Amino acid sequence: MQESFLTADKEVEIRFGEVDSMGIVWHGSYVNYFEDARESFGLKYGLGYLDIFSQGYYAPLVELDLKFKKPLIYGKKAIVRARYVNCEAAKIKFEYEILSPEDGSIITTGSSTQVFLNKSYELMLSSPPFYIDWKKRHNLI
């Protein structure tokens, strides 16, 4: 993962409804874990979905990548880490790690990209003013 000081962690407990018949987390559940970490990041740094919406924008996902290293098992816990990736484009990018709290080993890695849409659902080709201000407050530009 690219180095960044803007990170947020979220501990998750693997629930029965998130696993398959073998007790292993179903691949679609990982998207929710990444979402949980993004929400933790938003709360910590003031870049949550409601923050974006209150400024007159949406930030839908347009790209998502996952790489599975080890299985997550029902009843276990995991740490999901979201790391902000700074870029010049009008995008919000994150890299993720899902870690074992027992030994710190990497279970899953991934990344996501979000874009900005205005309230008319039009793609923003340049960063909205609030996002530029947010980046300045966090010494990213």
Contact criterion met (CB below 8 Å) for 80 and 96? yes
**pLDDT value at position 7?**
97
Q: What is the pLDDT of residues 21-79, one digit of tens each?
A: 999 999 999 999 999 999 999 999 999 999 999 999 999 999 999 999 999 999 999 99
Side-chain half-sphere CA neighbours of 136 within 13 A = 7
Residue extents of the structural domains in the chain:
7-137
Q: Which residues of 14-31 are buried (b: 16+ CB within 10 A; e: fewer)?
A: beeebbeeeeebeeebbe
E strand residue ranges, 1-141: 7-13, 57-58, 61-68, 77-85, 91-99, 106-115, 117-118
Q: What is the pTM of this model?
A: 0.91
Q: Which fold has domain 7-137?
A: Thiol Ester Dehydrase; Chain A (3.10.129)
